[in-house]
Amino acid sequence: MPEQIPPGKNTEQFVIQHVYTKDISFETPNSPHIFKETWQPQLHVEITNEVSNLEDTVFDITLKVTATVKNAEKTAFLVEVHQAGIFNIAGFDEPRLKQLLNTTCLHVLFPYARTAISNLVLNGGFHPLLLPQPNFEVMYAQRLNQTSKPN
């Protein structure tokens, strides 16, 4: 188990303990026929995350990135990566802690997920897929806004 950061007096600490791939998937349901068609790809990307508290100041964060590329309504490929990391975070108030868990940690994990996706797509016989860096701050603010709205 990762080592915990001892609580200190107003000492803010953010430590990346470990980065790892939790799950990975690549599918080409319409191959090999998809390679013979005129290529006009349409990309759809979904990004979500999960936060688990392992110990007092130790968190496991999972960034889930799913990219689906269709060509003329046929799925060319679907790739999914669950990139995870263990972070030791201490000394932050609750709102700032939640923001770090849902933004900064994801910024750390995303380059690993993007590289894995690009490599999987390339190894699957397609041109590499280079996903742009998401704005996790905006995504987090939108989630907060949605959860604060009355039903």
DSSP per-residue letters across the chain: -PPPPPP-SS--EEEEEEEEEEEEEEE-TTTTGGGGS---EEEEEEEEEEEEE-SSSEEEEEEEEEEEEEETTEEEEEEEEEEEEEEEEES--HHHHHHIIIIIHHHHHHHHHHHHHHHHHHHTTS----PPPP-HHHHHHHHHHHHHS--
Mean pLDDT, the chain, whole residue set: 92
Query: Does position 130 have pLDDT exceeding 80, yes or no?
Result: yes
Q: How do residues 38-78 score in pLDDT, each as one tens digit?
A: 999 999 999 999 999 999 999 999 999 999 999 989 999 99
Q: How do residues 73-110 score in pLDDT, each as one tens digit?
A: 999 999 999 999 999 999 999 999 999 999 999 999 99
* Residue 121: predicted pLDDT: 97
| pLDDT over 70, % of the chain | 91
* Residue 128: predicted pLDDT: 87
**pTM listed for this prediction:** 0.87
Give the β-pairing of 13-27 and 74-90. Answer: antiparallel
Question: What six digits make up the tokens of 23?
Answer: 């799950």
**What structural domains does the chain harbor?**
13-148 (3.10.420.10)
